[in-house]
Amino acid sequence: MKKIFLFTFFVLFTGILYFYENNLQSNQKLTLQDTSYYFKGILKSELDKINCIANYNIEVELISSQHLIYVKEKIIWINKTNFSTNELYFHLYANAYKSNNTLFAKAFYLRPENQTELLIKKFNVNGKTYRLIYCQPEIQNPNDSTVAKIILDKQINPGDSVKVYCEYSLKIPVSIKRFGRAAGRNFYFISQWFPKIGVFENGKWICSQYHPYLNFYSDFGEYNVKIKVPNKYLIASTGVIYKKENVENSIIYYITQIGVHDFAWMASDEILFYQDVFRRKDGTLVNILSYVQPEKKKYLNRYVQCIKNSLKYFEDYVGIYPYQNITLVDVPFTSASGGMEYPTLFTVSANLFSPIKTGWPEYLVVHEFAHQYFYGIIANNEVYEAWLDEGLTSYIATKIMYKYYPEILEHFKVISFVPVFGLNFLSYNGIPIIYTLAELRIPEGGTSIENYYRSLTIGSIADTSYKHPNRLSYIVNSYDKPELMLLSLERYIGFDKMMKILKNYYEKYKYKHPKSVDFINEVKNNHHENMDWFFDNLFYDARVFDYKISLVKKISSNEYEVIAERLGDGIFKNEIALYTNKDTLIQNWDGKERWKSFYFKTTDEVIAAEIDPKRKNLLDINFANNSYTLKPRYWASISIALRWFFWVQNALMILGSIG
């Protein structure tokens, strides 16, 4: 009897697991729990904090056989400012792919299969047809039609609303960046695809062109979207799929979301769907929706665990994630849409082979999730101040990685995707020339330091983002230097105070459009010391930091002189440490003088002196000269020499094989 019971239980349990797994993969089950604490995809407790200005109702049909979408779009825009306007500005981002002469295409060569444009059939405002006037608000280019304006015949006063209606079609190109279809696969990722109204603030429209490499800026609102796709196609999207209908050979998905400023979606009949949940501290649940390529199913658990770790870290230190869903889309190898963030959704990609110790794709997942806060919920203007999103995201992603994945090792790639443990110092056409195969743990900020060294003084963090002269300058001043600045700030004021600042910043500016000065003021208001020196040196100007201990000298039986130098033009407040065989003596220096002598009294044996012993200033370009030892250590020099000969030998062998 007992054996029969156990066998029956095993059969039932196996059947439940089989049904559950297949139910998730076929996307039949849209939610896992009661969602009465949500309204239109967001916690009800958040509703009174949201200011819905730009609201969209969109109906779209995907004709996969033609790689085409047909769209009917309604916008209700409300003037919630104290200014009047007789103009409306619109982003037409898809026109960036119109030709190789657009501003966007200056950085990406567009083959015919990569090109498309919005074919607008109707464009009405309050029932009246107006002519779209193409314009270039920032960089003149007559071939760029990614921004258009309409001049109305009457003013829109404070409190007034307007209704915009448009119909259009859009061919889905093979993706070259973010938007498009994957070559050779039934996979469509649709982003920056619909006419979107600009931001009206302080009596002026902010509506930027589609700049290469830069992101976007738009107002919060409510989105209601109906997407019709062929049978067997799964949909991933911003927001919540609350209903679906089978119509002839198609499926219509009904989607809603309030409190967001953009909408992106994916359609594919060659993708797996899985669902999990994260329980907040108050017991409410977040749906974790994962859409994974069949060949990368092995990464599913790693993806989901990354999201759970990120949700927990943000809840512990910054604030709760307020939306009902968080959706991950894993893109095919033939898609260029991976590694990008959208409200409640982000895309990732993974190599065929990537052990967890490499920290990849973990870092990508954590970074893109962090954008849900510093882009999605706090929506600054990324065309003007990209660092306020990218820098904060890079900083917090690093903190999450070192909390949950502390054994991250550096690795370089051979043949574009095969990761090899070690440090790559020099490459030729992707072939490593000088490297070491040692397993070396990356210090916090280590990957950002590599880029920072490549562009020390071309631009500052405070510079307007789209005005950076090249991509490297933009990357360094939007991602790398800001991360190093924020890590240095944390080390200077302390972790707890840094997290308090981020928490206050999040609570004050969520669903708003803060500027750099708002974050800086938050730092100043939460620290007792005047921090102008910090931001003057690290944020507003492009200064080079290099401090050195140039001499340690015994000047009496119990007194030593330590001479410190400032070799760069950057100023940072430092500590000077004198190490003895029994103790460490510390003095403070404001770092302003070009050189200064410090006097320490001790009867102990002095070993060495060091400036910035806790490495608070991560922008110092030469840590090797930060210390000075009294007794030379020959073995260290021999060790370095042996490694150098090893690297040179490797280089000669590889160069010989190239020939």
> Residue 21's pLDDT is what?
37
Q: Assign residue 459 a region: left if phi > 0, alpha if psi is -120 to 50, beta otherwise? A: left
Q: Which two tokens stand for residue 438?
A: 């040692």
Q: Which two tokens stand for residue 434?
A: 């000088």
Are β-strands 221-230 and 54-63 bridged in parallel, bridged antiparallel, or unpaired?
A: parallel
d(CA 513, CA 376): 11
d(CA 311, CA 328): 13
Check residue 112 and report its DSSP letter: G
Computed from CA positions of residues 372, 373, 376, 381, in that sequence, does the dihedral angle turn out positive or negative? negative
Q: What is the maximal distance between C-alpha atoms in the chain?
A: 96
Edge-to-edge strands of the sheet including 250-260? Answer: 128-129, 119-125, 161-171, 68-78, 54-63, 221-230, 250-260, 240-247
Q: At residue 210, what is the residue type? A: Y
Are β-strands 606-611 and 574-580 bridged in parallel, bridged antiparallel, or unpaired?
A: antiparallel
Nearest to 509 by CA among 339, 381, 643: 381
CA distances from 596 to 112, 471, 658 (A): 64, 39, 52
460: how many CB neighbours lie within 10 A of its CB?
A: 17
> Residue 632's pLDDT is what?
64
pTM of the model: 0.88
Q: Which residues contact 406 (CB under 8 A, 6 or more apart)?
A: none
Check residue 323 and report its DSSP letter: B
Unique residue bearing structure tokens 């001790």: 602
Element (DSSP H or E) covering residue 518: helix 516-525
The 3-class secondary structure across 480-531, one letter per residue, is HHHHHHHHHHHHHHCHHHHHHHHHHHHHHHCCECCCHHHHHHHHHHCCCCCC
The residue ranges of the chain whose pLDDT is under 50 are: 1-32, 634-659
Find the helix packing angle between 387-404 and 516-525, rounded to 10°. 50
Q: Which two tokens stand for residue 577?
A: 């440490």
Q: Say if residues 40 and 257 touch (Cβ distance below 8 Å).
A: yes
Nearest to 432 by CA among 441, 423, 440: 423
d(CA 98, CA 114): 9
Q: At residue 562, what is the residue type? A: V
Q: Which two tokens stand for residue 149?
A: 């304006």
d(CA 583, CA 399): 31
Q: Which two tokens stand for residue 26?
A: 């076929």
Computed from CA positions of residues 289, 293, 297, 301, in that sequence, does the dihedral angle turn out positive or negative? negative
Unique residue bearing structure tokens 């001479």: 563
d(CA 213, CA 51): 29
Nearest to 551 by CA among 584, 586, 578: 578
Coil vs helix vs strand at 318: coil
Q: What residue ranges define each of the domains in the chain, with the CATH number in brackets?
A: 547-625 (2.60.40)
d(CA 517, CA 52): 24
β partners of residue 260: 221
Q: Say if residues 266 and 190 touch (Cβ distance below 8 Å).
A: yes
The 3-class secondary structure across 392-441, one letter per residue, is HHHHHHHHHHHHHCCCCECEEEECCCEEEECEEEEEECCEEEEEECCCCE
CA distances from 139 to 125, 136, 198, 460 (A): 27, 6, 17, 21
Length of the chain in residues, anyone? 659
> Residue 445's pLDDT is what?
86
β partners of residue 287: 277, 325
Q: Say if residues 279 and 33 touch (Cβ distance below 8 Å).
A: no
Q: Say if residues 185 and 335 touch (Cβ distance below 8 Å).
A: yes
CA distances from 106 to 99, 290, 465, 471, 485 (A): 10, 34, 17, 12, 31
Q: Which two tokens stand for residue 226?
A: 């109906």
Q: Say if residues 169 and 121 touch (Cβ distance below 8 Å).
A: yes
Q: Which two tokens stand for residue 325?
A: 């869903």
19: how many CB neighbours lie within 10 A of its CB?
A: 10
In degrees rounded to 5, what are phi and psi of residue 561?
-105, 130
Nearest to 81 by CA among 190, 160, 197, 175: 160
Nearest to 76 by CA among 161, 168, 15, 193: 161
d(CA 232, CA 194): 25
Q: Which two tokens stand for residue 520?
A: 């800086």
